[in-house]
Structures are given as structure tokens and as C-alpha cells.
Structure 1
Amino acid sequence: MPSLDVHDIPAYFLSVDGPHLASLQNGSKPAVPATILVGSETYQIELAYRGAHTRKFPKKSYQITVTSSQPFDGSREFHLNAEYADPSLIRNKLSFCFFDQIGSLAPRAQHVILYLNGKCAGLYLKLESVDEHFLTSRGLPWGPIYYAVNSQANFSLLHPRTEEVKGELEAGYLRKCGKETDDGLLRELIYKINTTPQQQFAKEISRILDVENYLSWLAGAVCTQNHDGFLHNYALYWRHHQALIIPWDYDATWGRSINGKPLDPAALPIDGHNSLSARILAVPAFRSRYAAILKQILEKTFTVDHWRAFILHLHASLRPHLSNDPYKKDTLSIFDDEPAFIFSFIERRSAFLRKNLELLSER
């Protein structure tokens, strides 16, 4: 059972002067100087909008880069997600708790109340950046990290929309940690995924990818039904000479789309949809292991009984603050129905996956 330790929701106070805020809003500057007050400490920061389609929403999400000599909670960067399209405001946090439960690396997340220039901007989710601090706080060895920032990060040689050959193997990725020479690791991974003969694939991919980690991630993405997570919204981290995959931005999950609309629980297949998953699951030993991982998750972790108390407790902790959120205060009735919506999704998604698990095992 996941921990019910939901701390008091802290207040974060962002301050940015008028001209700088205007330049951020009209897009003339990607980032502007600002300050953030948390508790009794004030930090100098660089403030930027984050996200792709979420930039069009009235409630903006932010990237915070700490420029003060003193880092914030040991970190130089974190994110404040508006969770605007998620009527529950908990799907991102719930997803990362779920990944943690199934033994996969995932960012830490905490809800906060954000004030912008003295006015309440609403409930936000503070997300840990996947960077050097992410590794240090977990006792992991240093290694290069790449963000999958757009749909070209599909583990293929072809662009997902045009189906033309990409100009660069690393297209769709942003190097977060590491040096230019580390790009060779990423290029090798993409090249080997797409060119290694099937009879050699299991041995070759095991050399450069932590397959157990990938299968756990795949099971998590499939259970939570994150469509975007197969083409972007993940990070790659190289531990020694093997790549590990880390989930990122999981608000469009647990039965709702990127626009907050309900999704058919059968919309995403049991084997996901990217080139790497297809090649890995074509190996009988890997497919058998994936089936075993998924079966155990469906029996023990992806159940209403496992999550009921956590979801209800987290939901209740946010409820008193929702009336102060200028973007969410008129959706209280929808918010109140969200735990039941998520419980129903778990049951229906689990039934779909159980049915298809038998077909997966018979291939």
C-alpha cells in the first residue's frame, strides 16, 4: 500500500516585475529574472514557461532555475505544473507514486499553493527535475541524461508523422546532463534498435539498455494509459553503459487525455506503440518477462484496493484549497467526482489488460 504521508501544502510566492512578466507573456524572452519566497527563504531565480500544448492554457506551468548561491532544497531546478487539464489535479503525482511502487525511477512531486505577485495563482504540482540532483538524492552514479522533448524521440529512424528518415539520430532529444561526446551513446542506442538483426537483438540490446527497467516502465506506461509517453515525456539516463528510462509529465493518464477528456480504457494496446517496445517484445524471453511483470502489477499494485485510501486522502487534502484557485474554483463538482472516475478506470483498464495478457503470452 502506498504511503499516506501527504504533508501540509506549502505556499510559494513568486515575484516578477511588470515589464519582465509582460516579456514572458508575449514571448519576447524565454526566461526572466524573478524571486521565489518559500517559508522564510527568498531565492533569486530565472522564470520560464514550460510545456508544449499546455502553454496555450490560461493557467501556465513554470520552470524555475535557481540562480542564488544557495540551492533550493539541494536543487538548482524544479518545475511548477499547473495541472490545468486534469480535473483531479492528482494524476501526475499518482502516476509517479505508481512508478515508484513498481520499482521504476520517477520524479518526486508535491502540491503547493502558488502566489504570483501577491495574487493566488492556484494549486500547482512541484516536480523534481531529472538532473544531477535527481541522481545524487538517490545515490545513483553520475551519467548523461537526455530529455525526450518531442515526438521524434520515438526510438525510430523515421519521423513519426512524415515517415521520412530523420536528419539526425538524436532528433527529438535534449541533453540535460553530460557532454557533447555523450551524444554517441544516444546515437548508438537508436542505431542498434533499428539495425540489429533479430537473432542478435536480445544480446545487443541488453548490452546498451537496462531491459528490466524498460519492461517495468512499459508496464507502468501501459497501465496508466499514457499515449504521449511512448514518443516523448520520458528521460534517458545512462548508468555506466546501459540506458534507463524515466517517466515524465503523466497528467494525461488514468482515463483522461491531454485535454482532460475521458479515454476509452481499451485505447492503448498492451504492448504500447513505439519501435523499441515492438522489437523487445518480439524476443520471446523478453515478452515472457514483460507478461510476468504486468501480471504481478495487475494482481498487487494496479488495483482499487491498493490505491483507494491514498487517492481519497490526497484528494481530500487538496479540496479545501480548490476554492482559492481562480482556474479551478468553478469545477468543484467535477473534482469531487474524480476519485470515483479513477477507480472505475482502474477496474476497466485492468480488465482490458488481463484479457490481452493471455493473448500476449500465446504469441
Structure 2
Amino acid sequence: MLKYEIFINPKSLKTLENDIWTEEHLPAVLKIGNNRYKIGLNFRGNVIRKKKKKSYHITFEKPYLVNGAHEIHLNAEFDDISLSRNKLSLDFFNQIGVISPHSKHILLYINGFAKGIYLELESFDQYLLKKRNLPEGAIIYATNYFANFSLLTPENDLKTSLDEGYTIKYGEQKDLQRLEEFIAMLNTLNKSQFEKEIEKYLDVDQYLTWLSGVVCTQNFDGFIHNYAIYLNGESKLFEMTPWDYDGTWGRDLRGRPLDHDFVPISGYNTLTGRILDCSLFKRKYKEIMSSILEDHFNLEILTPIIEQQIHRLRPFIETDPYIKIKEDKFVQEIDFICNFIKKRSSYLKEKIGILS
């Protein structure tokens, strides 16, 4: 496993620790093997900032790009006993054909002190698009739970703006206005009008594939948060990509067990509801979900991937000062995740008939 060493002025580190919500990136140096990079360092995330083991956001300053990326994320995965759910999820989305950030586990040290096992994630930005040879296009982040494709907040209050919950990562104001236009359309047109207009805004097949991934991995927050929207510069259509998938594979974002049938096959959010109200799209969703259950979301395919991932991390568990569980408890997550897949797959196959 690669070793990442960060060196930062102790006063700067103290500044970060005293103000965990600061938006300022402080100067530091990142050493990977024999290479040194000047970086900007800050904490990332919301709930995780309050934990003992925090996540980090790194921007490369000199050079500006490293391996084609300007920024990376180092996720603590603090509440995931397996340290693996995020990576398993993002890799799963890539396997089913949904653009997702690549990731890898690393060992992090700051000023010589071991900080433990971290998951390095690509930033979903214009540089990722270039690396994947994808058309340039706007990228909009769903930054809070107001990103539910509705006119109402999750508390059923009228939104003050249709772009509440969204932040432009890359693009222009007109791209955000396009999203607002889309949200207004899907909330105001009748069924027949919606069926005619939706495919002018959204790559529906891609959305249904993304929806299948969220439903299979059972990320409850994934429908109104934990995603980014990509406005494909060639098709001019919106596409979806996942983000922060630690609350999956049978556990919630705090690591607590979730029943295998907690999220229905029909998913959530206003956009999903409107799409699945159309018989043509519902049949298409059934086809996509059936194919994924057959070819991807099953124990034959996933068990060796899970076992390899857990056993790759196993020798390094004792080096992480924040991990308090024993090695055998860590390895037991293989059975926990596999048991979830078995039950979840059976449940989805049982419920797929309601999509007819």
C-alpha cells in the first residue's frame, strides 16, 4: 500500500484543528515515494470534521497537475468498519457503466505521525473528464439534502430558489439555469408533456442505470445527496455520478446495520417518481435492473472482489491509531456484506415484478 507523507507547519496544522470549518487551504508538502509536491491542505466533509479521524482535501499547487488531477480527496472512512464500502460502491458503478471517481487505499502520515488507512478519491471535475476522454461539460454538485429535484425542501417547505442544494463545480451560471429549468419542467408538466420533454434534458437510460446502482447498494442518501450532475457537452443532456458511498452494503452512514429491504426498488426523489410513472421508462428500468442483478449484483461476481479488498487491508489494520476493532472482527465484514448482497438481491428479484 502506498505511503503518503504530509509535512505542514505545526502552527498551520493547529489553525486547521482550531477552525475545522475554515475554507482556506493551508500550504504543505506531500511526499509520495521519491516525489514531493507543494499542496494546499484542508479538511473535507461535514459530519466527519467532528470526528477524531478527519478527511482531507488536497489541491496541487506546484506542479498544478499530478497524474492529470489538480485535487484529490483523502477519506477517513471512520464509521465504516470495513473501510471498503465507498470503494466497493464506486467500483460497482464503474462496472455497470456509470462514470465514477477512481479510488485506492493509502497509508497517511502527517509530520511523521501515523494517521491510518485512508481512501484516496479522484475529484469529479473537468480534469477527470479529460482523463476519461469524455466531452467537456458543466459539473454541478449536490451539496445538501435540498438537491431532491423538487420545488419543496425535505421538510415540505417551498424552496426560495430551484438551485438550492446545488453548487457549480465547473461551468457557468447558464448551466445552473439549465438545471433550474429542468427542475421546473419536471415539477409542472403533466404526464404526457413530461414524457415528451424529459429526454431533451436528461439521458434517461443513464439515469436509470445510476438509479439501479443506488438501489442495489442501498444508499438512502444517494437520491437527494451524494451525487454530482454532469451536463454532457456533446449530447447536451444531464448525467448522474455517485459520491460518498460509505453508508451502503447493509450499513448506514454511521455504520449501523440496515435491513436489506430498507430502500424500495422504486427508490426516492421527485425525478425518479416522475420517470417511473411512465410505463415506457419503467419497463426500461426493469430491463436495466434485471441485467445488473444477473451480471453484476450477485455473490458469484462480488464475493471475490470483497474478499480481495478486505484481505488487502487486513495487514495494515494495526497501523491505524483510530481502529479499535480486532482483526477477526474486521474480516467478519466479508460475511456481513455478502449476506446483505444475498438478501438484497433476492428482495430486488422478488419486487422487480411491480415494474411491469
TM-score range, shorter-chain basis?
over 0.9
Match of 2:217 in 1: 224
**Displacement of 1:70:** 4.2
- 1:93 maps to 87
Partner of 2:241: 246
What's the counterpart of residue 311 of structure 1? 306
Cα distance in 1 between the residues matched to 2:256 and 2:274: 31
Distance 2:269 2:121 in 1: 26
In the other structure, the counterpart of 2:13 is 21
> How many angstroms does 1:228 deviate by?
0.7
Greater shift in the superposed pair: 194-203 or 234-243: 194-203
CA shift for structure 1 position 333: 3.0
After TM superposition, list the pairs within 5 Å mapping 1:171-182 onto structure 2.
171-182=164-175
Matched residue SS, 2:69: coil
Instruction: Decide which of 171, 182, 188 is 1:189's aligned counterpart.
Output: 182
Matching of residue 342 in structure 1 with residue 348 in structure 2: no
For 1:328 and 1:56, how far apart are their aligned partners in 2? 17
Aligned partner of 1:263 among 258, 266, 278? 258
2:40 and 2:188 map into 1 onto residues whose CA distance is: 42
Contact 1:13–1:118 (CA<8 Å) still a contact in 2? yes
For the residues of structure 2 that align with 1:245 and 1:340, how far apart are their CA atoms? 31
Q: Does 1:80 align with 2:74?
A: yes
Write the distance in 2 (CA, Å) between the matches of 1:271 and 1:54. 30
SS in 2 for 1:310: helix
Which residues of 2 match residues 66-215 of structure 1 at below 5 A?
A: 66-161=60-155, 163-215=156-208
Q: Aligned Cα RMSD in Å? A: 1.1
Match of 2:296 in 1: 301
Cα deviation 1:248-274 (Å, max 9, x = unaligned): 010110000111011000110111110
What is the CA–CA distance in structure 1 between the aligned matches of 2:325 and 2:295, rounded to whole Å? 37
- 2:250 counterpart SS class: coil
- Structure 1 counterpart SS, 2:230: strand
Segments of 5+ residues of structure 2 without an aligned counterpart are none
For the residues of structure 2 that align with 1:70 and 1:105, how far apart are their CA atoms? 24
Q: Which amino acid aligns with 1:22?
A: K
TM-score under structure 1 length normalisation: 0.95
Structure 1 residue 336: deviation in Å?
A: 1.2
Amino acid at match of 2:8: V
Deviation at 1:277, TM superposition (A): 0.3
User: Deviation at 1:329?
Assistant: 4.7
> How far did residue 331 of structure 1 move?
4.0
Q: Post-superposition shift, 1:181?
A: 2.5
On the 8 A contact 1:50/1:62 being kept in 2, the answer is yes
- SS of residue matched to 2:244: coil
Please state whether the residue corresponding to 1:67 is helix, strand or coil.
strand
Among all aligned residue pairs of Structure 1 and Structure 2, give the percentage whose two residues are the same amino acid. 44
TM-score, reference length from structure 2:
0.97
Deviations, residues 294-338 of structure 1 (Å, cap 9, x unaligned): 111112211011011111111111111111000115342321101
How far apart, CA to CA, are the structure 2 residues paired with 1:334 and 1:147?
A: 36
AA aligned to 1:179 is E
How far apart are residue 19 of structure 1 and its match?
1.4
Q: Report the Cα distance in structure 1 between the residues aligned to 2:41 and 2:139, rounded to whole angstroms.
A: 22
> Does structure 1 conserve the Cα–Cα contact (< 8 Å) formed by 2:147 and 2:225?
yes
Pairs aligned (count): 352
Find the aligned partners of 1:319 and 1:104 in 2 and give their Cα distance: 29
**1:322 touches 1:329 (CA, 8 Å); kept in 2?**
no
- Counterpart residue identity of residue 205, structure 2: E
Retained in 2: the 8 A contact 1:145–1:238? yes
Q: Is the 8 A contact 2:140 2:176 kept in 1?
A: no
